[in-house]
């Protein structure tokens, strides 16, 4: 253990967490260039067993967790997924599956529903099948369409997740049409957040301001049109708005992420921060990790902040933005997120956002071996 | 609303939260904290009882409470949110 940079506050105890993101595996048939998994992917042999996951989920329920997203990688790669679902359900946790759709069959879904699965979020990369396959680095669109139909047939709520970037923002109308046609109750249109794989692919993924403003108008229009039927969620592009996102609703405030090897993080990207001393459920109770670990207390509340955050009226609204982005762009995780117009580092991000760009650039597809830049896959 | 026998939507779970000592409605991507007597009302929404029957049960349980007016209005609001069918 390294010495923590700041002493955790003795009291009062933090509010209980509402949600747990369970990254059951980093294995995935897709290779999306903006993947939220870390650059250093956890090997399959280091993954928690279903029994260990059951224990984590029971501890989480005791701590106050109400929701879990079973995610990955691709959670369907776990043959013991139904056992994990059953453990979460018997702990009283509401279970949502986050999947690429690849590997979902009627019998598989039926087993998961019997075990207690409540809802499914399906990722889609583009409304056009060939473009979706190209972005995913894998022929997968047909499997997604099939998965959506299975989820609807099973009577489960269906959400569509679409990460937006330069190569699909112009198709946002078509993406909404696709979601409606597939029977989605909710379509999450999430502008790419640039750290990890997405930061590595920033040149290829960063949109233009014009693209964003057209897409935003389209979403507003469609939201009015679809009111009461399909919910449209727009996750803001923080490079362009001058306002940082209230990342995770605050560090260690609302939710936690458990990585495939049992590492516990305040957000999926936080493993990329240096010297965080990531606590692990294999060594410590989840209660200690949430309430007392140096990692979860490091950026909790407002005490850690420096100016301009410290005296800012928005400090309890956006919590100084994203620690991972501050670290990625300035080298210091405790600085104000450069996405904020008040940040002394904001020019760093403006310069990137305003750089003229056109055409397409090759992707570095997600895969094992973070150092390897690979040429675009053919699919 | 005549004839309506309210029941929670299939994706909605009504549960007690022993950590926060409150009742919750849990849905995809959302948790609703139930205040006051909301959970007492929603627990009666079993798809069998009509709205009038729910009102009668609550009137007997909470004498003097304005259930005749407020309960149908509350149920309607919850239906508009999409949590009751």
The pLDDT of residue A349 is 87
Q: Given CB atoms, is B13 within the 8 Å cutoff of chain A?
A: yes
- Classify residue A374 by burial, with Cβ atoms within 10 Å: 0-12, 13-18, 19+: middle
Q: Which two tokens stand for residue A285?
A: 């109770």
DSSP class of A301 = S
pLDDT for res A4: 42
Q: How many CB atoms lie within 10 A of CB B18?
A: 11
Round to whole Å and give the CA distance between A265 and B80: 37
| pLDDT tens, N- to C-terminus, chain A (379 residues) | 334 444 444 456 899 999 999 999 999 999 999 999 988 899 999 999 999 999 999 999 999 999 999 999 999 999 999 999 999 999 999 999 999 999 999 999 999 999 999 999 999 999 999 999 999 999 999 999 999 999 999 999 999 999 999 999 999 999 999 999 999 999 999 999 998 899 999 999 999 999 999 999 999 999 999 988 899 999 888 888 888 988 889 999 999 999 999 999 999 999 889 889 999 999 999 999 999 999 999 999 999 999 999 999 999 999 999 999 999 899 999 999 999 999 999 998 888 888 877 777 789 999 876 444 444 443 3
pLDDT on residue A11: 53
Instruction: Look at A118 and B17 and tell me if their CB atoms are within 8 Å.
Output: no
Omega before A12 within 30 of 0, i.e. cis: yes
CA A132 centroid distance within chain: 19
- State the CB neighbour count (10 A cutoff) for residue B20: 14
Name the residue of chain B whose CA is nearest to A158's CA: B28
Which chain A residue is nearest to residue B29, measuring alpha carbons?
A: A67
CA distance B51 to B44: 9
pLDDT for residue A8: 45
Question: On the CB side of A166, how many CA atoms lie within 13 Å of its CA?
Answer: 21
Q: What is the pLDDT of residue A376?
A: 41
Alpha helices in A182-285 (DSSP H): 197-200, 202-205, 209-226, 238-241
At A321 the three-state DSSP class reads coil
Which of A13, A61, A118 is the best substitution to test chain B (most B C-beta atoms within 10 A)? A118
CB-CB: which of A94, A185, A186 is closest to B13?
A: A94
- What span, in angstroms and rounded, lies between the C-alpha atoms of A83 and A280? 22
- Give dist(CA A25, CA A258) in Å, integer: 10
Instruction: Tell me whether residues B28 and A62 touch, CB distance under 8 A.
Output: no
Q: Do B15 and A92 touch (CB under 8 A)?
A: yes
Task: Give the model's pLDDT for residue A109.
Answer: 98
- For residue A141, CA distances in Å to A105, A123, A208 come to 15, 10, 26
Q: Which residues of chain B have pLDDT under 70?
A: 1-2
Please answer yes or no on whether B28 and A92 come within 8 Å at the CB atom. Answer: no
Closest CA to A113 of B68, B11, B85, B72: B11
Three-state secondary structure call for residue A25: coil
Report ipTM (2 d.p.).
Answer: 0.92
Closest A-chain CA to B22: A64
Most A-contacting residue of B13, B14, B28 (CB-CB within 10 A), to test interface: B28
Q: Name which of A64, A96, A119 is nearest B20 (Cβ-Cβ).
A: A64
Alpha carbon distances (Å) from A49 to A1, A105, A178, B59: 25, 23, 37, 51
Q: Which residues of A touch B (CB under 8 A)?
A: 16, 18, 62-64, 66-67, 92, 94, 96, 118-119, 155-157, 159, 185-186
Is the CB of residue B17 less than 8 Å away from at least one CB of chain A? yes
Please state, in angstroms and rounded to a whole number, the distance separating the CA atoms of residues A30 and A102.
9
Whole-number Å distance between alpha carbons of B78 and B74: 6
| CB contact (8 A) between residue B28 and residue A118 | yes
């Amino acid at each position: 253990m390294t010495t923590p940079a700041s002493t955790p506050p003795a009291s009062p105890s933090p509010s209980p967490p509402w949600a747990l993101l369970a990254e059951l595996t980093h294995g995935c048939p897709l290779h999306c260039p903006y993947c939220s998994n870390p650059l250093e992917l956890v090997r399959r042999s280091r993954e928690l067993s279903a029994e260990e996951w059951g224990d984590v989920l029971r501890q989480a329920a005791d701590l106050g967790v109400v929701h879990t997203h079973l995610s990955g990688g691709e959670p369907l790669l776990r043959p013991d997924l139904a056992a994990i679902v059953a453990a979460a359900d018997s702990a009283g946790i509401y279970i949502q599956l986050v999947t690429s759709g690849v590997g979902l069959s009627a019998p598989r879904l039926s087993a998961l529903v019997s075990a207690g699965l409540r809802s499914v979020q399906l990722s889609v990369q583009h409304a056009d099948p060939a473009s979706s396959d190209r972005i995913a680095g894998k022929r997968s669109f047909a499997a997604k369409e099939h998965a959506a139909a299975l989820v609807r047939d099973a009577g489960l709520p269906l959400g569509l997740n679409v990460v937006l970037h330069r190569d699909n923002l112009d198709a946002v109308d078509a993406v909404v049409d696709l979601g409606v046609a597939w029977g989605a109750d909710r379509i999450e249109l999430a502008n790419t957040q640039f750290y990890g794989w997405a930061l590595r692919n920033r040149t290829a993924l960063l949109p233009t301001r014009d693209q964003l403003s057209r897409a935003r108008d389209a979403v507003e229009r469609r939201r009015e049109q679809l009111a009461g039927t399909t919910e449209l969620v727009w996750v803001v592009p923080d490079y362009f708005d001058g306002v940082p996102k209230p990342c995770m609703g605050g560090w260690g405030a609302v939710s936690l992420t458990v990585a495939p090897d049992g590492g516990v993080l305040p957000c999926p990207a936080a493993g990329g921060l240096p010297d965080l001393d990531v606590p692990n459920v294999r060594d410590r109770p989840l209660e200690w990790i949430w309430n007392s670990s140096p990692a979860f207390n490091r950026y909790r509340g407002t005490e850690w902040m420096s100016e301009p955050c410290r005296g800012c009226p928005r400090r309890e609204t956006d919590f100084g933005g994203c620690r991972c982005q501050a670290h990625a762009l300035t080298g210091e995780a405790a600085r104000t997120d450069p996405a904020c117009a008040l940040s002394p580092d904001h020019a760093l991000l403006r310069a990137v956002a305003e750089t003229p760009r056109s055409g397409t650039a090759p992707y570095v597809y997600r895969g094992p071996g973070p150092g390897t830049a690979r040429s675009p896959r053919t699919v | 609303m005549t004839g309506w026998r309210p029941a929670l939507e299939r994706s909605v779970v009504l549960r007690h939260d022993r950590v926060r000592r409150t009742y919750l409605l849990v849905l995809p991507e959302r948790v609703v904290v139930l205040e006051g007597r909301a959970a007492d009302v929603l627990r009666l929404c079993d798809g069998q009882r009509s709205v009038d029957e729910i009102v009668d049960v609550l009137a007997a349980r909470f004498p003097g409470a304005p259930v005749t007016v407020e309960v149908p209005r509350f149920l309607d609001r919850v239906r508009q949110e999409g949590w009751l069918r």
